[in-house]
Structure 1
Amino acid sequence: MESITTGPFVMRSTCRYCQGTRMYIKHKCTECEGKGSTVQRKKVTIPVPAGIEDGQTVRMSVGNKELFVTFRVEKSDYFKRDGADVHTEADISVSQAILGGTVRIQGLYEDHTLQVMPGTSSHTKIRLSGKGMKKVNGYGHGDHYVTFKISVPKHLNNKQKALITAYAELEEDTPGQIMGVTYKTDGKSGEMPFAGSEAKTQGKYSDDDGVPGFLSKIKRAIFG
């Protein structure tokens, strides 16, 4: 404290030199001005925890100070994240969906070869246990979910179209009608009638009743 006497009055105030700290620095530092620290910019390397999620904040020590870092995770065009679980899609052909097969997909840590069961429907989902993201607040990893999507061809050549049409004639649980296939009153199916030169070609591979059958269509598709 500092005392100032003015006549009969005595005033006390905070010391003008130490500002009440009881310490006085006669020769102050030109950088910190006696504060003991300065404000500086410094680049530090921050370790990224495995499995960190978007918006999570991590506290770490930098010297004598504590630093709070909020992470922003960039979105992926292939992986869709749900916590520690990831979701992806795998395209399969119509033949693979009907007959079965295998398909190779990209994983987080390695590629995987998946078994496609015969008769797989579109949007069938399978789980790869423990192949997801590492859990930040726990032990182990999440799961990797794969959704099969059947890729239907938009363009068919003549042989492919003939084979599909032949299969359509044998299909019994069609919910509606199929373009290019007509159904007669006796319950049998047949392709829509041809015209011109195609009618002559059709007659060469027709069954006894004049209607092209399953084998006839295959022969016509292969041999012309």
Structure 2
Amino acid sequence: MTLTPEPPVVFLHGLASRGTQDWPESEWTAVLGDRSRRVLDLPAHGDAPGLGAVSTSAVLDALAEAIGPHEIDLVGYSLGARLAWDLARHPGVAVRRLVLGGLSAGEPFALVDLPAARSAIGGGPAPVDPLTGMIVHMASLPGNRPGDLLDLIEGLATEPFAPEAGAPAMPVLLLGGVDDPMAAGIDELAARLPDVRVRRVPGDHLAALHTPEFRDAVRGFLAD
């Protein structure tokens, strides 16, 4: 009997991060064993070029081209999960199983005060709005390209995350930190999915991703 090889696992990271930061080899090599793994940098992050203020659909097209048509398991966190929800339904991508961690049920980018954010990264006053201030802080962390990141946010906001418009049909694992307010709505998202498991792990939005419980949940789900 010939065993069918398991598909590669593709990882998408969160906003203002990069693939090697969210999905380090030291944490994930033991989880996947000898399975093939690809860690992508989102546009405007890490080594990936910025696309400007393009729509979500254009970002998804770029990711689909980078991934290719062969079957994969797809794992996304935060912004990576927001994109993975729609990427899993993209005609150019074949997703067997989908893991979405730290996913917000709403669209925060439409609430960002982009003029204030651009002024702040150019040396102007800190934004009054807390969300915009948080985005400026994240975009300005060492190694990031603040202007490119704000362009990405501007483009994504023009085509907001709309889970009510359609849901992935393949098996989905939704993961959220017990202390992560951004993932508080995953039960609402789960109600839209035909084949879903929901699991909460220790930690807030930053810490949950790096817990053994998160990795164990992914391992078990992808192995089923």
TM value normalised by structure 2: 0.20
Question: Per chain length, whose mean CA-contact separation is higher, i.e. which structure has more relative contact order (CA < 8 Å, sep 6+)?
Answer: 2
Q: TM-score, normalised by structure 1?
A: 0.20
Which entry has the higher C-alpha Rg, 1 or 2? 1
